[in-house]
Structure 1
């Protein structure tokens, strides 16, 4: 999306300036925040389209900042930049509202490709219809999901992933098709983010008490995933 606004949250001023300059060159309007509190305040006042969030901030935990930015700007795409390699840290960040992550060090070309992919997906207008599979009901226009009457707190990519899987309930959806439809057909980089999102989505489907049992997302080894009621 040409001219999309990006909030860069990076405590190292040199790295922050380099990222901001690269974003400006690629047609984005970038602003920089060097600590968590400033990032929250700028997100609340400017409502950026994209947020690049370094988790290692000097004043606040990056996960806390991510959660507050998600509450302030529900439709923003949040990509966390982290030197943390433990999968649990990534899952916690995604649960806090992040849409994607990149592990430092990363290539600038990969970052830009990821951002373009996210913005293309954000530009897709959802179909104005309802999708019901057993106890699950998806309002595709409003982007809301209900399981046995209880609304699920889903992040944007979790909703998209659930919509694709539920739309083909009982069928195997390959990893390639899920990446094409939920992220982008020109996705650049690892598909690990798919596994992390499936893990988080499974937990949210299991939380509500569902009459007759909650739906499941089954892993079909070597192929992909299947939504089962």
Structure 2
């Protein structure tokens, strides 16, 4: 069962392949630990790993692999929850209502340009000043808040902004 699965999940015999598990942890690769007969399961299981004990039904194994892949994928893209918390990788930051409203299109189109006019419209709907200077001030404050989670709002000259990892 060792090696790469179709979904890029590495299967590791536990505890015999501790070194392979450590490599997966360092490189943040998804890892499914297959606990050997009679061995205790690992005490601490990280974000990018899960464990099973054989024998396991094929559909159960596929479900574990899908869940592990989804969990890892979600952490590679920013996620903005309705409570105003932005999650990215292992970090999170709380944002104001206006910051959330401005960030929503940037998160939704992560890595793509969001035009200035779209963000100015958001400011106008929220009742804040929507002047060019006001937008720049809001973006500056948003940049400060996002620094802690490893994200940056970059200028796309003459067009708008893009949300990217730092």
- Indicate the TM-score class for this superposition, using the shorter chain for normalisation: 0.3 to 0.5
TM-score when normalising by structure 1: 0.35
TM-score when normalising by structure 2: 0.46
